[in-house]
A and B are shown apart, each in its own frame.
Chain A
Amino acid sequence: MVRLGASQSFAWTAALVAALVLPFIVTVPYYISTAIFALIYVTLAVSFDLVVGRIGALSLAQPVFYGYGAYAAALLATHARPGPGFWIEAAVAVLGAPLLALAIGIPAFRLSLHSFAMGTLGFALIAQLVANNWLDLTRGPMCISAIAPLRLSYPGGVLQIVTLRQSYYVVLAIAVLAVASVALIARSRLGMAFRAVRDDPLLAAARGLSPNQMRLIAFTVSAGLSALAGVFAAHFETVVCPSYLDLGITVLLLIMVFVGGAGSLRGVVTAAVVFTIGPELLRLVAAWRLVLFGIILLFTVTAFPDGFEQLYAAAGRALSRRRSAGPAEEQAWKP
């Protein structure tokens, strides 16, 4: 199993500390808002990477789980006021999304690689159609609105998540949970099983691993994490629309995974942050933004298929050459 090198542990710790103190250093509400979006996408991107990068299945259905979490929270919070609170909503999301994932995954994983991508796309489109047209449930394009703030109950009372700073810390906790979960899986025997199935499903099967079982596990965990992000987003934005299920989200997630480096936690987290904050900094019109994203994605995939991870790995090698006294850090695999 992989142990993090000293420099990597330091980098992660530093990043966490920076994230924890951010709202006290940066006080402009717009920037904190942007940081919140970045953290939502960090959660979505690392859970997406679990399927695309770590088990090697190109699923295009991630927004279905995000949307499920958002709509579930929205419905629970608006049908009874006050709503059942964060813990119940989270439970519905985290337990229900895997069921949805099984419903999609069990038939879809029987298909060959290309067909799997198409099949998941089909499910995503059907989900979007349902969101747009089942007016009784989702109010379609009119959206479910006036969602009350998140209510976190704890022994002794209920905390309402009203301020930006409070929201920031909630989503930070979710993002840390997602990153930690993926990291723990990666380091465990389960992660080893995932890598085996990704590298060579035939060989993995010959060694007693069921590729479909492993894929379903990755898929369901990924769904649960994304749904949790959806629960938060519903309360933060106070409105849930069919746009939560948009293909554009999939495109953005693909960029984050491939430009970040599929299977690389540090790469994907970096790309998630870069591609939420970047567009805000550049203030591009939506269409130009997408043209730029598309070109970046195309360029990355053709020229730098390992994305940011390539940069990180090169930096890592340069660092270990500097410290030529000790053994070079193992290049076995990324965390």
Chain B
Amino acid sequence: MEAVTTPARGAALEIDGLSKAFYGTRALDRVSFVVRPGELVGLIGPNGSGKTTLIDCVTGVLRPDDGGVRLDGRSITGLPAHRLAKRGLIRTFQQVRVFTSADVRDNIVAGGFATVLPSRYLFNPAHWAATAARADALIAELGLSRVRGTSAGHVSYGQRKLIEFAAGLLCDPRLMFLDEPVAAVNPTLALTMRQRIRALHEAGVTIVLVEHNLEVVLDLCERLVVLDHGVKIADGPPADVMALPEVQEAYLGR
């Protein structure tokens, strides 16, 4: 399957001592790990372990209480989300988000805002024509052609996940956080999604994948980072990590 993004050098990510507390509960407790360019890392852990909070802190949605984040060696801690998106740090949302007043095609074309300066939103027909062409190609490949003109609020949950993923691709990501991309999606769409993720990986984009579906995680990821109650409890190759007693305990519960 063709990779649709222009081959991008994947970004490197360093997370250093990230902490975040809400109303006294520590959602993240000095979490540190490194993601090398082009790696496909799985971020796993039981519900409430802080995975989405981590993504929020890294992508500028939340301000961490402590610690720092570096993208390709440059500090990005506390930068607003839109600036990070323009640097190629793209994410999808656990509760899938789309622009409800726009149709499917425009939702995907909107990814074009990340790759151009605001001063060039208007009067830039070349950029938007290219974006539209890429969007059309993606729509065809992802099987969304029939609903391209439908309002994004009216398509199925799985289709919305595909839309979100496609829009993210159009942002020319160098590092992509995928927050449960196949959760609650029917098996056919899930397969499509997995193929796209693999293609993205082969194109060289760094990927951090949050997923509960261990089969998907073990299939795709080269490395796993495990969080439990906001603390990193493991970091390494999937087979090794899954064999660790603390990891099994975390999943089987106390």
Contacts and interface: CB of A to CB of B under 8 A. Distances in A.
B151 A193 contact: no
Interface stretch (B46-54, B77-85, B195-203): B77-85
A193 B107 CA distance: 11
A334 B104 CA distance: 16
Contact of B114 (A190, A195, A198, A207): A207
A196 B118 contact: no
B154 to A, nearest CB: 9
Contact of A189 (B60, B91, B100, B122): B122
Contacts of B98: 200, 203
Interface stretch (A72-80, A208-216, A289-297): A208-216
Interface in B176-230: none
Contact of B113 (A209, A332, A333): A209
Q: In this complex, which of B100, B106, B114, B128 has the most chain A Cβ atoms within 10 angstroms of its Cβ?
A: B106
Contacts of A196: 99, 102, 110, 113
Interface in B56-97: 59-61, 80-83, 85-86, 90-91, 93, 97
A188 interface: yes
B128 A205 contact: no
Contacts of A193: 113, 121
Contacts of B122: 188-190
Interface residues of A, number: 25
Contacts, number: 88
A77 B80 CA distance: 46
B41 interface: no
Contacts of B86: 208
Given A192-B106, A207-B167, A202 B61 contact: yes
Interface string B109-127: 1110111001001101000
A208 B171 contact: yes
B103 interface: yes
B101 interface: yes
B143 interface: no
B149 interface: yes
A154 to B, nearest CB: 29
A222 to B, nearest CB: 17
B85 A200 contact: no
Contact of A202 (B81, B90, B128): B81
B81 to A, nearest CB: 4
A182 to B, nearest CB: 15
Contact of A208 (B99, B103, B113): B113
B188 to A, nearest CB: 26
A333 B152 CA distance: 11
B52 to A, nearest CB: 13
B113 A207 contact: yes
Contact of B102 (A199, A202, A211, A331): A199
B110 A206 contact: no
Contacts of A213: 118
Interface in B145-171: 149, 151, 167, 171
Contacts of B151: 331-332
Contacts of B171: 207-208
A331 B151 CA distance: 8
Given A189-B121, A190-B121, A199 B82 contact: no
A280 interface: no
A237 interface: no
Contact of A207 (B60, B101, B110): B110
Contacts of A330: 103, 149
B128 A208 contact: no
Nearest to B96: A203
Q: In this complex, which of B91, B99, B115 has the most chain A Cβ atoms within 10 angstroms of its Cβ?
A: B99
A220 to B, nearest CB: 14
Contacts of A199: 99-102
B30 to A, nearest CB: 26
A195 B85 contact: no
A203 B93 CA distance: 9
Nearest to B118: A213
B59 A206 contact: yes
A111 to B, nearest CB: 16
Contacts of A200: 97-100
A333 B102 contact: yes
Nearest to B151: A332
Contacts of A188: 121-122
A289 B247 CA distance: 70
A95 B116 CA distance: 27
- The 10 lowest CB-CB distance pairs between A and B, nearest first, are A208-B114, A205-B81, A208-B85, A203-B97, A205-B82, A210-B82, A199-B99, A208-B113, A332-B103, A208-B86
Interface of A: 188-190, 192-193, 195-196, 198-200, 202-211, 213, 330-333
5 contacts: A188-B122, A203-B97, A210-B83, A332-B103, A332-B149
Given A206-B61, A207-B111, A208-B113, 18 more contacts: A190-B122, A192-B110, A195-B101, A199-B101, A203-B97, A205-B81, A206-B90, A206-B93, A207-B82, A207-B85, A207-B167, A208-B82, A208-B85, A208-B115, A209-B113, A210-B80, A331-B151, A332-B103
